[in-house]
Structure 1
Amino acid sequence: MELNFREMLTVGMVLFAVIDIVGTIPVIVDLRKRHGHIESEKAALVAGLIMITFLFVGEEILNLIGIDVNSFAVAGAFVLFFIALEMILGIRIYRDEESNSASIVPIAFPLIAGTGTMTTLLSLRAQYQTVNIIIAIVFNIILVYAVLKSSAKIEKILGKNGLNVVRKAFGVILLAIAVKLFASNVKALFV
């Protein structure tokens, strides 16, 4: 168990890119409008707990239920694909009429601690020290919390048109990530 700042920085940057909390601001703003108040602390803590738990037992859980990492990643690609379509086309596919809060679903899971993040964690675990990954997760959760907490201010700064531009742009980026995640994992399903 060795603390390594370079590893923490590398893992932190990879997780920041995969979580893409800045890109999800339009989704968070939209969810806040639909559901009212978003509990930033709850969403950040649950997402962090999911990520750390999955880091230790994710592969075992998948093996236990007979799912390989590639299948999990392909499923995650579909989830990201549909979220991206919602962002780009301005349509609503995911409907959860009974929920009065979006803090856990869909913010903590699958938006922050989604299948892309979980698949990435399994890959990182093979390359880096666990303690450095955990520190990088905590750092990212602090950033997630800060963005969730200040989403109303960010919305005011960007304005309606700015949010629409960011939503569409990050929707395209999310769509590209979904396609890449699908393409890099679907081949392994048929080998």
Structure 2
Amino acid sequence: MIELFFSAFITLFVVIDPPGCAPIYAGLTKAATPAQARNMAIRACMIAFVILVIFALFGQSLLGALHIELDSFRIAGGFMLFWIAWEMVFEKRTQRREERAEKVAATPEVEDVSVFPMAMPMLAGPGAIAAVMLLQNEADGYEQTLVVLGALVSVLLLTMIALIAAGPLIRLLGARVEAVITRLLGVLLAALAAQYVIDGLRGAFNI
């Protein structure tokens, strides 16, 4: 159980990337009061949680309806996570997030950023959806499902704290430290993605 929790926690932490979301959120909420920024951070994490739980619990049924085998999804999900890892190592993901944030900030009528772009696609994006479905497929029984969901709750709580403390956190860490952390997390995610592909190939070819 402990091993599953840490595996799920690390995977979701790397994919959701609270340290990477914090500076983007700080930029999006410059004009907001501390109370407004705090409420939007809480709301964004709650919405992301609901979205990810839906895919975690019902994603397997969706795959069955589409006649997609779990091993195929493991391989596809592994490649998707590897792409995210590549973008993190070479800072492509951060650049794309910043461009998306600039577009949102440039639209005067957009005030509440909790749903878009924070909840989706920054927190509950394709990578996070794929990761939570893969982890849930690995879970065996009710107790392990709760362990995976517990890891998801833990990551989103940390994300919420990072978003609320985004401004002071950026001033404390600085851009260089953030870049180093992002690259290290990207390397770790690449290894986890490779493992998903290996597991999928073993299952598909009965190795």
Residue 112 (structure 2) aligns with: none
Residue 68 (structure 1) aligns with: 69
Task: Verify the 8 A CA contact 2:77 2:130 in the aligned structure 1.
Answer: yes
Residue 83 (structure 1) aligns with: 84
Task: Verify the 8 A CA contact 2:9 2:152 in the aligned structure 1.
Answer: no
Residue 150 (structure 1) aligns with: 165
Alpha-carbon deviation of 1:154? Answer: 2.5
Provide TM-score, normalisation by structure 1.
0.74
Task: Choose 128-137 or 40-49, whichever is displaced more.
Answer: 128-137
Equivalent-residue separation in structure 2 for 1:130 and 1:119 (angstroms) = 12
Alpha-carbon deviation of 1:108? Answer: 1.9
Residue 105 (structure 1) aligns with: 121
Task: Verify the 8 A CA contact 1:85 1:175 in the aligned structure 2.
Answer: yes
Q: Deviations over 1:105-128 (max 9, x none)?
A: 1322235x3312221123224362
Letter in 1 for 2:12: I
Task: Choose 126-135 or 72-81, whichever is displaced more.
Answer: 126-135
Residue 53 (structure 1) aligns with: 54
Name the SS for the 2:67 alignment partner.
Answer: coil
Alpha-carbon deviation of 1:42? Answer: 3.5
Alpha-carbon deviation of 1:166? Answer: 0.9
Task: Verify the 8 A CA contact 1:26 1:163 in the aligned structure 2.
Answer: yes
Does 2:204 align with 1:176?
no
Q: How does 1:117-136 map to 2 (within 5 A)?
A: 117-126=132-141, 128=143, 130=145, 134-135=149-150
Task: Verify the 8 A CA contact 1:55 1:121 in the aligned structure 2.
Answer: yes
Between the aligned residues of both structures, percent identity stands at 23
Q: Which runs of 5 or more structure 2 residues have no equivalent in the other structure?
A: 30-36, 105-115
Task: Verify the 8 A CA contact 1:74 1:185 in the aligned structure 2.
Answer: yes
**Residue in structure 2 matching 1:16, options 9, 13, 16:** 9
Task: Verify the 8 A CA contact 2:74 2:199 in the aligned structure 1.
Answer: no
Task: Choose 115-124 or 57-66, whichever is displaced more.
Answer: 115-124
- Judging by fraction of residues, say which structure has more helix: 2
Provide TM-score, normalisation by structure 2.
0.69
The size of the alignment, in residue pairs, is: 182
Q: Deviations over 1:92-140 (max 9, x none)?
A: 59688696342111322235x3312221123224362655655554444
Root-mean-square deviation over aligned CA pairs: 3.3
Equivalent-residue separation in structure 2 for 1:154 and 1:138 (angstroms) = 21
Q: Deviations over 1:70-90 (max 9, x none)?
A: 222222222221221122112
- Measured at CA, do residues 21 and 188 of structure 1 come closer, stay the same or move farther in structure 2, by a change above 3 Å? closer
Name the SS for the 1:67 alignment partner.
Answer: coil
